[in-house]
Amino acid sequence: MKAWVLEKIGDIKYEEIADPKPRRKEVLLRVKAAGICGSDIPRIYKTGAHKAPLVPGHEFAGTVVSVGEEVPEEWIGRNAGVFPLIPCMKCAPCMEERYEMCRSYDYLGSRSDGGFAEFVRVPEWNLLALPDNVSFEAAAMLEPMSVAMHAMRHGLHAISDRTLEKDETILISGLGTIGMLLLMHLRNDGYKNILLIGKKDFQRKKAIELGAGADSYFDYKTGDPYEWVMDKTHSKGVSLMFDCVGRNEVINLGIRCAKPGGALVFVGNPYSDMGLEKDVYWKILRNQLTIKGTWNSSFTHSKEDDWNHCLRNLENGSIHPERFISHRFKMEELEKGFMIMRDKTEDFMKVMAVQ
């Protein structure tokens, strides 16, 4: 089969490799759509993967074409999304079915071969069967959608374990894919009073498409976001802030903007070491702020896990993540997408391979 193989940092080629064979409790999936995650770009060009050679790609969906031992043949021909984290099933979080926090996990696309290929081996446990009305492109976005859903659920219950009221003010800083999907989920859940901080005009336009007001968006390049948030909230501050950036200045902004008793949820991967100035730390204490970290997403095969919740919203048509796909390429042309994201030569949201 053909696959994008990362031989070493900066060296990725579309080449012929041996066809994978499903092992016990595994299936062979024909990849139909695969999205490039922002984390794939440093993995390919800067930091490398956990092993090499490796086929990257952890946001994908496809059709089961064959099964290994102990897998029902009924899977053959079925369309499926894929939870890319393969838990050890032995550590303390796994025993509590909190698989996203597994202490010894495998991961398709970063530790094992992933979805930038014609075919990929996937454990049956990691499959999520797709309804007929859910497209492969939408299903390939289940991973980032579920990450955003996980963050939203943590945030809405972060304040003294109560659910945020629908009219309270929420702030999202960082409008990449996860930030936009957070906005989509919050709007779908009935939250309308959402302030947004980004830095690109196309992000503002996408936010407006999702129903955000034109005056609810602030461009980082145009002034002081703290003054803008305080003006918008009549100096009361926000009840909940999501940091989808992972920078020190955004964390400090969130702490300053939070109203007494408010909450901050850290979503973005850190760009560098983090530190808090003394005065900022005092604000956490004196305002009794709640700070929560969120990681990955829940997948337990329960109707209430993040993946099944997102799939249900896809099936009933209440969300449409395909609107965030800015670029589509054939799998053999996917390097064009890598370059666009690495060099930022064009505006992009979700870049996807389709076959």
Average pLDDT over every residue of 234-244: 97
What pLDDT shows up at residue 271?
83
Q: How many CA atoms lie within 13 A of 216 on its CB side?
A: 20
CATH number of 2-140+320-354: 3.90.180.10
Q: Greatest CA span in the chain, whole angstroms?
A: 63
In the chain, residues under CATH classification 3.40.50.720 are: 147-293
- Within 8 A by CB and 6+ apart from 279, the residues are none
Residue 132 binned pLDDT confidence (cut-offs 50, 70, 90): very high
Average pLDDT of span 278-302: 96
Confidence (pLDDT) at 159: 83
Quick one: average pLDDT of 181-209?
95
Task: Identify how many contiguous H helices and E strands the chain contains and give both numbers.
Answer: 11, 17
The DSSP code for 142 is H
Rounded to an integer, the average pLDDT of 307-315 is: 98
pLDDT 10s digits, 12-38: 999 999 999 999 999 999 999 999 999
Q: Where residue 91 falls among pLDDT bands split at 50, 70, 90?
A: very high
pLDDT of the residue at 214: 87
Q: Which fold has domain 147-293?
A: Rossmann fold (3.40.50)
Q: Residues 81-86: what's their mean pLDDT?
A: 98
pLDDT at 161: 67
Compute how many other C-beta atoms are within 10 angstroms of the C-beta atom of residue 347.
14
Pairing of strands 2-8, 325-330: unpaired
Q: How sure is the predictor about 218, in pLDDT bands with cuts at 50, 70 and 90? A: very high
SS3 308: helix
Q: Do you know the residue count of the chain?
A: 355
Q: What is the pLDDT of residue 294?
A: 96
Q: Which two tokens stand for residue 243?
A: 């940091």
Q: Is the pLDDT of residue 127 over 70?
A: yes
- pLDDT > 90? residue 187: yes
* Domain limits, CATH 3.90.180.10, in the chain: 2-140+320-354
Inter-CA distances, 61 with 49, 57, 355, Å:
21, 11, 11
Task: Flag whether pLDDT at 160 surpasses 80.
Answer: no
Sign of the CA dihedral 40, 41, 47, 48? positive
The H-assigned helical ranges of 287-334 are 306-315
Contact between 159 and 239 (Cβ < 8 Å): yes
Q: What is the pTM of this model?
A: 0.96
What mean pLDDT value characterizes the chain?
96
Beta bridge partners of 41: none
Q: Is residue 217's pLDDT more than 90?
A: yes
- For residue 95, give the DSSP letter: H
Amino acid at 340: I
Distances (CA, A) of 174 to 27, 149, 177, 278: 37, 16, 9, 25
- The pLDDT, as a whole number, for residue 221 is 87
Residue 116 pLDDT exceeds 70: yes
Band (148; pLDDT cuts 50, 70, 90): very high
